[in-house]
Structure 1
Amino acid sequence: MVFSTIHSSQAALSAVAASWCRSALHHGLDPARSLRGERLEAAELQRRLASHGDLLAVAEPVLDRLYAQVGLTGCCVIMADSEGVILQERKSAADAPFFESSGLVSGSNWSEASEGTNGIGTCLVEARPVTIQRHEHFSARNIAVSCMDAPIFDPAGRLAGALDVSSARADHGDGMASLIGALVQDAARHIERDYFCRHYSGRRIVLAAGARGQALLAVDRDGLVVGATRAARLLYHLGNEVDLAPRPLDDLIGGAAGYESSERATLRQALARSGGNVAAAAKLLGIGRATFYRRMERAGLDLSQE
């Protein structure tokens, strides 16, 4: 079925078939291959866990809550990094042998390049929520599970990993998958929000209206936006740069920021609007360059530190 679909017109219409094409034609995988990829050595897994310390700190309580919701239905909860390596999992003692034999254990690589079409790997490639039912997996060795996944983006809007719920139940159909998928997406957005707030713990966090709680902005004491979630970057067309160029919050949300005016804030916002050019900033304020520098000195502003 996999190869017949790959060479048919369906490959251009179905997201699963497109993933099958990537698995076979780009990665050169064989759907009948029974051997699984090797797990990471313990030292390498520990290195990855350490490098994702902030993410895991906010994710762990969310993983626990999600497992409490789905664990008794024959599901395990998995957190993978952006390369598809499983960092943590939650599963019952009764279901553990099944999931371990299926390769759903910490240190295993579930990227598309390694396992073909699967919830974790395909979610990371697509950068969107996906559900891969049992028969939709590329490799025959993976058709015993169904997977519901959602991507997680870091405070700079980059893909950080995937949150996965895998089901061992053969009777979990489309309705159950849809319900679990909604829980996974909600949990992933919760992790993103807490990750962003942890990263910008010293900043004021502003929620953009009408963005389902995901468009968050980090604002400094002078009313300049210094951070934005992926949803906020898309909403306000802020680009993909890791370090945002500071810009006045009022410019983004139409003057509804509610910040008190101050000399320091006025000067910094003028500099932000002029791209750091002092002459242009002074012109915006209707003053001379020398006056702008004197006001900077009184406000304690140092361009070399901004």
Structure 2
Amino acid sequence: MPERHEDRVASASQSPGAVTRLAASWRRSMVKHGLDPARPPQLRRLTGRELAERRGRLDEFIAVARPQLDQLFQLVCPTGCNVLLTDATGIVLEQRARDADTGVFRDWGLCAGTDWSEQAEGTNGIGTCLAEGRQVTIHRDEHFYTRNTGLSCMDAPIWGPDGRLIAALDVSSARSDHTERWNALIAAQVAHSARAIEAAFFRVSFPGARIIAAQAAGAEDAALLIAVDKDDLAIGANRAARRAFGLEKEGRLRPRPASDLLGRDDEATGFEKAERAAVIRALARAEGNVSAAARALGVGRATLYRRMQRLGISENPGRLSRG
């Protein structure tokens, strides 16, 4: 007789030294949160007023995220997936699903206003992503509750400009023909969309500042972002940049000269080399059109000209256009 799901979860949760991340999450769900995999409580749903209040606290963030949610949904909707955006506590704030699928996902509780934290639902894509602050995929019987084993959930965290976790981006599927390999493709897109939302929100959080971007070594989608004001003071840094430069882990960034971070010695090093390469790549992609390159980098043309001069990039290396 096959082992029941709830028995397998309980058995794997017994050891304090759980050897896998999944087993550690199951143990948290059972021991820390006091949940029973065979007896889930009723789904917690916020009232309309409570949901409106939650959305109101993050209205600017949600406005920035919506275009990316729409784009992600267009990519995954033909496969019958559901796109969700939550706050840092696991409350679903936004949903994208086809009309024909909305009822199915509502029956699962995958809709605006529901609580998908680990404390409420045990191991699941949203809750475990937020609990561990990392990208996760929870495929079918990896869920804690037996009732959720028909779901596959691909999630990525979104970090705010203050370095704190602000949201989770989720794509869920209830289709039995979605394999783990297929889910891996969706998970890659979820991670990309989460980083795009994170970067866009960082930019709007520092109006008037110029944003310097570079690529983190070994992490294709994890851009280092620094906000620099008119006095050349670094006034903001995203989580990747905070970690790379040993800055304050969370909260307000203490302003310091950008040169202290960017290494403005006679020979450019570190971040400045990466910034110079990023500017040159943008100019190359724009076929030398400085205005188009500035738009791609999210800065004004005058700002880009200043950066080109500062980085030793001539005004017309080859055939750069003034357009």
TM class by smaller structure: 0.7 to 0.9
- Tell me which of 190, 204, 215 is aligned to 1:198: 204
Q: Aligned equivalents of 2:66 and 2:151: distance in 1?
A: 23
Q: Which structure: larger Rg?
A: 1
Tell me which residue corresponds to 1:218. Answer: 227
Aligned residue for 1:225, secondary structure, equals strand
Aligned residue for 2:114, secondary structure, equals coil
Q: Aligned equivalents of 2:240 and 2:42: distance in 1?
A: 36
Does the CA-based 8 Å contact 1:36-1:103 persist in structure 2?
no
- Tell me which of 60, 84, 99 is aligned to 1:78: 84
Deviation of 1:209 (Å):
4.6
Does the CA-based 8 Å contact 1:156-1:230 persist in structure 2?
yes
Q: Amino acid of the residue matched to residue 112 of structure 1?
A: E
Tell me which residue corresponds to 1:157. Answer: 163
Between stretches 160-169 and 88-97, larger displacement belongs to: 88-97
C-alpha distance after superposition, 1:254-277 (max 9, x if no partner)? 11569xxxxxxxxxxxxxxxxxxx
Tell me which residue corresponds to 2:236. Answer: 227
Deviation of 1:35 (Å):
3.8
Deviation of 1:234 (Å):
0.4
Query: How many residues are aligned here?
Result: 257
Q: Aligned equivalents of 1:200 and 1:34: distance in 2?
A: 43
Does the CA-based 8 Å contact 2:243-2:249 persist in structure 1?
no
Q: Aligned equivalents of 2:215 and 2:108: distance in 1?
A: 43
Q: Aligned equivalents of 2:242 and 2:29: distance in 1?
A: 31
Deviation of 1:222 (Å):
1.2
Q: Normalized against structure 1, the TM-score is what?
A: 0.81
Does the CA-based 8 Å contact 1:203-1:219 persist in structure 2?
yes
Tell me which residue corresponds to 1:293. Answer: none
Q: Aligned equivalents of 2:114 and 2:244: distance in 1?
A: 35
Q: How does 1:81-92 map to 2 (within 5 A)?
A: 81-92=87-98
**Are residues 1:244 and 2:253 paired?**
yes
Q: Amino acid of the residue matched to residue 156 of structure 1?
A: D
Does the CA-based 8 Å contact 2:158-2:169 persist in structure 1?
yes
Tell me which residue corresponds to 1:17. Answer: 23
Q: Amino acid of the residue matched to residue 94 of structure 2?
A: Q
Deviation of 1:89 (Å):
0.5
Tell me which residue corresponds to 2:152. Answer: 146
Tell me which residue corresponds to 1:2. Answer: 9
Q: How does 1:124-143 map to 2 (within 5 A)?
A: 124-143=130-149
Q: Amino acid of the residue matched to residue 22 of structure 1?
A: R
Q: Amino acid of the residue matched to residue 138 of structure 2?
A: I
Q: Aligned equivalents of 1:209 and 1:117: distance in 2?
A: 32
Deviation of 1:251 (Å):
1.2
Identity of aligned residues (%): 49
Aligned residue for 1:60, secondary structure, equals helix
Does the CA-based 8 Å contact 1:146-1:167 persist in structure 2?
yes
Tell me which residue corresponds to 2:111. Answer: 105
Aligned residue for 2:172, secondary structure, equals strand
Deviation of 1:208 (Å):
2.8
5+ residue gaps, structure 2, are 1-7, 274-323
C-alpha distance after superposition, 1:221-263 (max 9, x if no partner)? 11110000000000111022411111111111211569xxxxx
Does the CA-based 8 Å contact 2:216-2:240 persist in structure 1?
no
Query: How large is the Cα RMSD of the aligned pairs?
Result: 1.5
Q: Amino acid of the residue matched to residue 113 of structure 2?
A: G
Aligned residue for 2:100, secondary structure, equals coil
5+ residue gaps, structure 1, are 259-306
Q: Normalized against structure 2, the TM-score is what?
A: 0.77
Q: Aligned equivalents of 1:241 and 1:5: distance in 2?
A: 34
Q: Aligned equivalents of 2:101 and 2:131: distance in 1?
A: 28
Between stretches 105-114 and 240-249, larger displacement belongs to: 240-249
C-alpha distance after superposition, 1:106-130 (max 9, x if no partner)? 1100000000000000000110100
C-alpha distance after superposition, 1:15-46 (max 9, x if no partner)? 11100000000000011114422211111100
Q: Aligned equivalents of 1:160 and 1:62: distance in 2?
A: 16
Q: Aligned equivalents of 1:63 and 1:199: distance in 2?
A: 19
